Amino acid sequence: MKAHCLCRSVRLETGEHHTADACHCSMCRRWSGGPLLAVPCGSDVRIEGAEHITAYRSSDWAERAFCSKCGSHLYYRYLPTGEHFVPAGLFEDDSGLTFTMQIFVDNKPAYYDFANDTEKLTEAQVLAQFGAE
């Protein structure tokens, strides 16, 4: 699967992934301006144009990267596993994606609500299942 930022300086390529998840936590919403819709891509992400990437260490366990030229958000990387979560909007073909899970649902503000029927995990459930955000 291929993805790129708005100015095309950074291109990402990863294997076939079919799910998209939404995170409603306050950090993702501050970073994205809304819930973060992202595709879990594991660690098999190949990057072209890495010299245009700025990575911000948002916590002890994660960094969030963006294109230094156009500002597009490129990935959230969970450092203990090297797993990348790539914003769904970057992909050139999103027709194979299914919206399957929402996390930090108890952090979601009241002004929006997705109609999709997805699995939903609260902050406590996420921490129990995956460790830290």
Positions touching Zn ion (CB under 5 A) are: 5, 7, 9, 23, 25, 28, 67, 69-70
Question: CB 64 → Zn ion: shortest distance, Å?
Answer: 10
Q: 107: which residues sit within 8 A by CB, 6+ positions away?
A: 24, 25, 26, 123
Question: CB 10 → Zn ion: shortest distance, Å?
Answer: 5
Identify whether the C-beta of residue 15 lies closer than 8 Å to the C-beta of residue 44.
Answer: yes
Question: CB 123 → Zn ion: shortest distance, Å?
Answer: 10
Question: CB 36 → Zn ion: shortest distance, Å?
Answer: 6
CB neighbours of residue 92 within 10 Å: 9
Torsion of CA 91, 94, 96, 102, to 10 degrees: 90
Nearer to Zn ion by Cβ, of 25 and 88: the residue is: 25
Nearer to Zn ion by Cβ, of 9 and 118: the residue is: 9
**Residue located via tokens 């459930």:** 125
Nearer to Zn ion by Cβ, of 16 and 92: the residue is: 92
